[in-house]
Amino acid sequence: MISQPKTMTTPHHDALACYQARQYAKAISLAEAGLANDPSNANLLTLLAVCRMESDQPEAAIVTLRQLLGIHPDPAEIHHRIAGLLHDLHRQEEAEAAYRIALTLRPEHADARFNLSNLLTQQGREAEAEAELRQLLRFFPQDAEAWCHLGNLLAKRQGIAEAEAAYREGLRIRPGHVATCNNLGNLLVDARRFVEAETAYRLALAGQPGHAGILGNLGVVLKKMGRFEEAEGVYREALQIRPDHDDALLNLGMLLIAMHRYPEAEALLANAMTRETARAGALRGLGDLHRRMGDPARAATACRESLRLEPDHPDTWNNLGNCLADEKRWSEAEACFREALRLRPECPDIRCNLGHLLLTLGRFDEGWPLYEARHHPARAEASADPADCDVPFWQGEALTGRSIRVLAEQGFGDQIQFGRYAPLLKAMGARRVTLVCEPALRELLAWLDGVDRVLVKGEPTDEPVADLQTFPLSIPRHLGTIAPPLPALRVAEERIAHWRKRLPGAPFRVGLAWRGNPNFHGDRARSLPGLATLAPLWSVPGIAFVSLQKGAGAQEARFPPADQPLLNAGDLVEDFAQTAAIVAQLDLVICSDSAVAHLTGALARPCWVMLAWNADWRWGREGSATPWYPEGMRLYRQSEPGNWHEVIMRIVNDLKSFTNP
């Protein structure tokens, strides 16, 4: 019988076989045994270092790699591996030194330069990190990953344009690169270029379908575009893929709040509270929910519990400030806003909220500059006519011989209230004053003295570009004038005549408006629940009531109470000039905090305004009078949150005296 020759093995061969079988402990033992006889065996040392790295023995791996120095054919790679292990061990100074040795030995070592850039970024040394990436790209200009990371750095250091250019260069090299598409989407969201951001996220998802994180980002941008149902579907898809996706879960809760699906939102956030990693965010969401539902005390409790878990979260401090302001705890609210600003100094929402509070307190010199943050592009609530980016904003400088355009902002009432400032600009020597407004206000505001032209928001115009532009609520900051005399608003005689024969002939006519724009974030508090709330008014004899209500609540005026005839004029008017023709012929208007109040005040007609317990800043903190409309306007404030009945009963008593002096 002929014997078969035995297969000759070596320590390296045996150790390698164990390594390939993931038997790392055995591979280490075999490699160490082999090195006892051959301590300078580069193959065994390399394998031993790799096995120790795989076995989570970084310190031992570093010792082994250092033994390789001087005998390995690629010392730059050895220094790079040592640097990586030191980096993982958070020994950053040693790691940086090792990366730099590797790059001295081989300047074109892409991984070493890339990882050094990451290390510098983690240390907050963004300028040096950027320099390393740019050096890498000189050697390898087609490195899409490096362009992506350069875009990330530029987004923090130099702004959107530079970062976008880097991302797009990376995508030119590698179209559809998932990380670059996703990061570009994030950048475009910050720039409020939502349609482009959606495209970027969908490209990322095409490259990596079902990525929960990217789906969550897509949900954010869909919400910002007002596509709530689509956003909900995307969030739910992300949660199906990754049920532990806290951001998607919490964002879905906030979306349900925005959709006024409060019970669903509360149930979802309550469920999120059972997850330790989501508890602080869930409490923050519940704080927002309870505040919207009119329970600021409960909301504040949720915010405080969230702060116990995350004491340095600026959004929670901001939310707590809002809750305390709702309760008229002004000094505590201010302290919260200032703490939020300390943590995030440039946040426009926080600056705007603090500015709003200071205006409420009558501290206008402090409040106006902060309130300028209301138009920051990062604010979802920003509501203004698009500004011409090529036209400078007026900063209070001389206007003599210059043209200025006053842009539209916020609601109808704001545009009426602050339209009074446009003639002041003309009086300062402005060559041309143009007022931009909503279509429904054009004819009404065209009567303002000193206004050369009234334009409709969003409509094309042949008017030359102005020298300056301003938002109306920015003007008081520069003029230092609060509530200047209101220029008389006039109503065309033919409109008055048109309504004279349609209005009831009773000896006393009272206009009613009980609800404002439901899209306004504070409408739940300022608007009455419905026409039925005004029922006690029907007991005052000798009055003909005229509904001025449009939009929300107008349906109730079409079917008034059987015991109270009500002329439904609101459905018959198309703009504020027509409403003004009616108001000019009424003896009194009783309304909620809405555009009707400002219209009536601007016409110097008697107006009684029903105000929520914590009314908007323009009405001040207390008192029944306002400097904005000194002639005939009386304020009726709730004595406790939500109690409209007590307000109505005071009005009933005063109405009896008013109609029978």
3-state SS string for 37-82: HCCCCHHHHHHHHHHHHHCCCHHHHHHHHHHHCCCCCCHHHHHHHH
Give the separation between CA 180 and CA 214, rounded to whole angstroms: 12
Q: 3-state DSSP call for residue 217?
A: helix
Residue tagged 């902060």 (tokens): 370
In angstroms, what CA-CA distances link 15 with 19, 25, 47, 68, 166?
Answer: 6, 10, 8, 18, 45
Confirm if 593 and 526 have CB atoms less than 8 A apart: yes
Please tell me the chain's helix, strand, coil percentages from 3-state DSSP, rounded to the nearest 5: 60, 10, 35
The answer to whether residue 545 scores a pLDDT higher than 60 is yes
Q: Using alpha carbons, list the distances in angstroms from residue 254 to 38, 284, 309, 524.
A: 65, 10, 19, 17
pLDDT at residue 2 in the model: 42
pLDDT of 334 strictly over 60: yes
Confidence class for position 3, pLDDT limits 50, 70, 90 = very low
Output the six-digit token pair for 381: 């609530």
d(CA 508, CA 624): 23
* Sheet with 403-406: strands ordered across: 453-456, 432-437, 403-406, 468-470
145 closest CA partner among 109, 112, 169, 120: 169
Secondary structure, 3-state, 274-339: CCHHHHHHHHHHHHHHHHHCCCHHHHHHHHHHHHHHCCCCHHHHHHHHHHHHHCCCHHHHHHHHHH
Predicted pLDDT at 572: 87
What mean pLDDT comes out for the span 448-472?
89
User: For residue 176, which of 166, 164, 188, 168 has the smallest C-alpha distance?
Assistant: 168
Instruction: Write out the two tokens for 363.
Output: 């501290």
Provide the pLDDT confidence category of residue 459 given band limits of 50, 70 and 90: confident
**Which residues lie closer than 8 Å to 632 by C-beta, 6 or more apart?**
601, 604, 605, 606, 607
Residue 200 has φ and ψ, to the nearest 5°, of -65, -45
Distance between terminal CA atoms of the chain?
135
The reported pLDDT for the residue numbered 284 is: 95
Query: What's the longest Cα–Cα distance across the chain?
Result: 135
Is the pLDDT at 480 greater than 90? The verdict is no
Q: Given the structure tokens 């939310």, which residue do they identify?
A: 319
Q: Indicate the pTM of the whole model.
A: 0.80
Helix or strand run (H / E) with residue 422 = helix 422-427
Residue 195, both tokens: 């349609």
pLDDT, tens digit (0-9, with 9 covering 90-100), for 365-424: 999 999 999 988 776 555 555 666 789 999 999 999 999 999 999 889 999 999 889 889
Is there a contact between 299 and 266 (Cβ–Cβ < 8 Å)?
no
The least confident of 6-10, 218-222, 513-517 is 6-10
Which is more confidently placed, 1 or 313? 313
The answer to whether the beta carbons of residues 548 and 589 sit under 8 Å apart is yes
- Location of structure tokens 């004819």: 443
d(CA 21, CA 600): 86
pLDDT mean across residues, the chain: 90
Question: 3-class DSSP state for residue 218?
Answer: helix
Instruction: Provide, rounded to the nearest whole percent, the portion of the chain with pLDDT above 70.
Output: 96
Tell me: pLDDT of 5 over 50. no
Q: Which residues of 574-586 are buried (b: 16+ CB within 10 A; e: fewer)?
A: eebbbbbbbbbbb
The runs of H, that is alpha helices, within 403-466 are 412-418, 422-427, 442-445
DSSP state of 492: -
SS3 at position 108: coil
Assess contact for 413 and 526: CB atoms under 8 A: no
Residues whose CB falls within 8 Å of the CB of residue 461, separated by 6 or more in sequence, listed in order: 455
Q: How many residues does the chain have?
A: 661
d(CA 605, CA 489): 11
Q: Express each pLDDT in 65-92 by its tens digit.
A: 898 888 888 899 989 999 999 999 999 9
Residue 647: HSE in the Cβ half-sphere, 13 Å Cα cutoff: 27
Backbone angles phi, psi at 60, to 5 degrees: -65, -35
Predicted confidence band of residue 4 (pLDDT cuts 50, 70, 90): very low
List C-alpha distances in Å: 341 to 127, 345, 346, 358.
Answer: 26, 4, 7, 14
pLDDT band at 7 (very low <50, low <70, confident <90, very high): very low
pLDDT class for 246, splitting at 50, 70, 90? very high
Asked if 378 and 384 count as a contact pair (C-beta separation under 8 A), the reply is no
Task: Read off the DSSP letter of residue 165.
Answer: H
Q: How confident is the model at residue 435 (pLDDT cuts 50, 70, 90)?
A: very high
pLDDT score recorded for residue 504: 87
Nearest to 84 by CA among 69, 95, 100: 95
Closest CA to 473 of 598, 384, 600, 381: 384
pLDDT at 381: 57
Report the alpha-carbon distance of residue 313 to residue 101 in Å, rounded. 41
Question: Can you tell me the mean pLDDT for 257-273?
Answer: 94
Mean pLDDT of 25-44: 87
Burial of 369 (0-12, 13-18, 19+ CB in 10 A): middle
> Helix H segments across 554-594?
554-558, 576-583
The answer to whether 565 and 574 have CB atoms below 8 angstroms apart is no
pLDDT for 592 equals 96
Q: Looking at residues 47-69, what average pLDDT do you find?
A: 88
Q: For residue 292, is it left (φ>0), alpha (ψ between -120 and 50) or beta?
A: alpha
What band does 466 get if pLDDT is binned at 50, 70 and 90? very high
> Span 637-661, mean pLDDT?
91
- What span, in angstroms and rounded, lies between the C-alpha atoms of 564 and 513? 16
Residue 191 has pLDDT above 90, yes or no: no
Q: Which whole-number Å values give the CA distances from 155 to 163, 189, 195, 206, 279, in the listed order?
A: 5, 12, 19, 24, 30
Query: What pLDDT does 448 receive?
Result: 86
Mean of the pLDDT values across residues 274-284? 94
Q: Could you tell me the two tokens for 284?
A: 């923050």
Q: Are 434 and 404 in contact (CB under 8 A)?
A: yes
